[in-house]
């Protein structure tokens, strides 16, 4: 396998830049540039082919089987000058057997060498992209192997169930020593229940990863854009006394209580003959129906004219002073804004409580495939020994579905897509 190298830190001026080298020639490259290879770590001069000093660097070395990739790895921790980094990369390019790494190639080697499973790779990608505390915690759980641990448990239970069923096939012409039906039924039902719970939590997990949506709706001039600007802390939307100012959906992304949230300011909902405004109103309705929470703004005395689902917060607008028994806000003075934010945070946190460790649509599909197979197997359990071979095959189908979660089977076509999202040095 080739030895690869890349800048592992962001390009540009910094306190420290790290150049990573991985592969069978990593230690040899270190010896060529530094004169010797430290045992674990050490300060070394880094020189070019002419013997001129490039920098003095902290060198970290990892033996095969003990590194992130599972190969020999050397990390050059350099002073963060773009000139120093460029010079070291240029010297590495002249060493035979070395080549620049492709996007995500270090992580791909970690997968191929058994250092990570596919779910951990996806968790690492999400960890790198995490912008909020909730995203970080969710990604870290998957990167640390939480989904893989569940898959191991499910696989063990399913293989145990399959072995018991296959034992009845082996004893088809004899009396089976023990009735295995109760134990097999319990194993299958337990795994199916856990897999279904994980599948149901995927949508919320995707929202934590990609962001929840909160739509502000209401009639024209009710204060939607003013509320958006107050939440954003800046003039994200144009405010005007002229009805119908907002024609399109304006999006502002923010962090609410550690959760990623996109707040949507929508066109005022009313009857109109203006074609463009009508398109904006229709778009507002669609985005509101798809949102996780709808803030429905109404003036005092006004009644709702639309239905947007159970996660709708009715808020009275232009309430400049707190009034008992009224959930009101004022985008102008800020009255009630803190209470509204707290309400949204509580609602989203309650939704997030249903999150498991399966985070992606491919996870959900695999889990549902496994659940379907187990549902079929459980339904056949009362049919007697004659159905044992079919039951065993359905259990094996469920095993393959669980194994696809961590990349043991049927995921080769996904790898290029997954690793293309990584930066070059990872």
Residue 181 labelled as part of a binding site: no
Residue 233 labelled as part of a binding site: no
Q: Express each pLDDT in 21-58 by its tens digit.
A: 999 999 999 999 999 999 999 999 999 999 999 999 99
- Greater confidence (311 vs 269) lies with 311
Contacts of the segment 53-61: beta carbons below 8 A, 24+ positions apart: 54/84, 54/87, 54/88, 54/91, 55/79, 55/81, 55/84, 55/87, 55/88, 59/30, 59/34, 61/27, 61/30, 61/37
Buried b (16+ CB within 10 A) or exposed e, 63-75: eeeebbbbbbbbb
Token code pair at residue 154: 């499910």
Q: Residue 123: name the closest of 112, 135, 133, 105 by CA.
A: 135
β-strands 98-100, 3-7: how paired? Answer: parallel
Distance CA 376, CA 369 (A): 11
Mean pLDDT score across all residues of the chain: 84
Residue 222 labelled as part of a binding site: yes
Q: Express each pLDDT in 337-362 by its tens digit.
A: 888 888 888 888 888 877 888 888 88
Q: Express each pLDDT in 231-281 by its tens digit.
A: 777 665 544 444 444 446 788 888 888 888 888 887 776 666 667 767 777
pTM of this prediction? 0.74
**Span 99-109, average pLDDT:** 92
- Greater confidence (20 vs 350) lies with 20
Q: Express each pLDDT in 175-194 by its tens digit.
A: 555 567 888 889 999 999 99
The winner for highest mean pLDDT among 55-64, 164-173, 198-207 is: 55-64
Q: Residue 238: name the closest of 276, 265, 270, 278 by CA.
A: 265
Residue 351 labelled as part of a binding site: no
Strand order in the sheet with 3-7: 41-47, 53-62, 73-79, 16-22, 3-7, 98-100
Whether the predicted pLDDT of 135 surpasses 90: no
Residue 245 labelled as part of a binding site: yes
Residue 125 labelled as part of a binding site: no
Residue 65 labelled as part of a binding site: no
Domains of the chain: 3-116 (3.30.1360.120), 118-310+351-407 (1.20.120.430)
**Span 76-84, average pLDDT:** 95
CB of 24 closer than 8 Å to CB of 72: yes
Residue 75 labelled as part of a binding site: yes
Residue 246 labelled as part of a binding site: yes
For residue 310, the SS3 value is coil
Residue 201 labelled as part of a binding site: no
Residue 242 labelled as part of a binding site: yes
Whether the predicted pLDDT of 386 surpasses 70: no
β-strands 53-62, 73-79: how paired? Answer: antiparallel
Residue 266 labelled as part of a binding site: yes
| Other beta carbons less than 10 A from residue 320's beta carbon | 14
Token code pair at residue 394: 């359905």
Whether the predicted pLDDT of 82 surpasses 90: yes
- Residue 245 pLDDT: 46
Distance CA 324, CA 329 (A): 13
Residue 223 labelled as part of a binding site: yes
Residue 141 labelled as part of a binding site: no
Residue 243 labelled as part of a binding site: yes
Whether the predicted pLDDT of 16 surpasses 90: yes
Residue 157 labelled as part of a binding site: no
């Amino acid at each position: 396998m080739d030895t690869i190298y890349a800048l592992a830190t962001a390009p540009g001026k910094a306190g420290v830049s790290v150049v990573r080298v991985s592969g069978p020639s990593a230690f040899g490259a270190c010896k060529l540039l530094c004169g010797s290879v430290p045992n674990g770590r050490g300060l070394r001069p880094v020189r070019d082919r002419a013997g001129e000093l490039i920098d003095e660097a902290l060198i970290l070395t990892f033996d095969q089987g003990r590194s992130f990739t599972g190969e020999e790895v050397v990390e050059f921790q350099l002073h963060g000058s773009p000139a120093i980094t460029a010079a070291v990369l240029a010297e590495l390019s002249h060493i035979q057997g070395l080549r620049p790494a492709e996007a995500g190639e270090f992580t791909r080697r970690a997968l191929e060498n058994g250092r990570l499973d596919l779910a951990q790779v996806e968790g690492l990608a999400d960890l790198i992209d995490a912008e909020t505390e909730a995203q970080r915690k969710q990604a870290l759980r998957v990167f640390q192997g939480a989904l893989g641990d569940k898959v191991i448990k499910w696989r063990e239970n399913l293989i145990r169930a399959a072995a018991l069923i296959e034992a009845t096939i082996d004893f088809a012409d004899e009396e089976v020593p023990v009735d295995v039906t109760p134990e097999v039924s319990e194993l299958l039902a337990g795994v199916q229940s856990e897999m279904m719970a994980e599948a149901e939590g995927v949508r919320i997990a995707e929202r934590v990863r990609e962001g929840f949506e909160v739509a502000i709706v209401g009639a024209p001039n009710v204060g939607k854009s003013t509320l958006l600007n107050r939440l954003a802390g800046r003039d994200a939307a144009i405010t005007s006394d002229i009805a119908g100012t907002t024609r399109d959906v304006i999006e502002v992304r923010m962090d609410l209580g550690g959760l990623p949230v996109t707040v949507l300011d929508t066109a005022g909902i009313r009857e109109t003959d203006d074609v463009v405004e009508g398109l904006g109103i229709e778009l507002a309705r669609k985005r509101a129906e798809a949102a996780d929470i709808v803030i429905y703004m109404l003036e005092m005395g006004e009644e709702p004219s639309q239905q947007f689902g159970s996660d709708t917060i009715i808020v009275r607008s232009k309430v400049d002073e707190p009034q008992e028994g009224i959930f009101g806000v004022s985008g102008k003075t800020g009255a009630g804004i803190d209470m509204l934010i707290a309400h949204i945070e509580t609602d989203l946190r309650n939704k997030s409580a249903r999150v498991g460790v399966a985070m992606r649509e491919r996870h959900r599909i695999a889990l549902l495939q496994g659940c379907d197979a187990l549902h079929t197997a459980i339904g056949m359990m009362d049919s007697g020994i004659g159905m044992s071979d079919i039951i065993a095959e359905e259990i094996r189908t469920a095993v393959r579905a669980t194994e696809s979660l961590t990349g043991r089977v049927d995921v080769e076509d996904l790898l290029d897509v997954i690793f293309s999202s990584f930066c070059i040095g990872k």
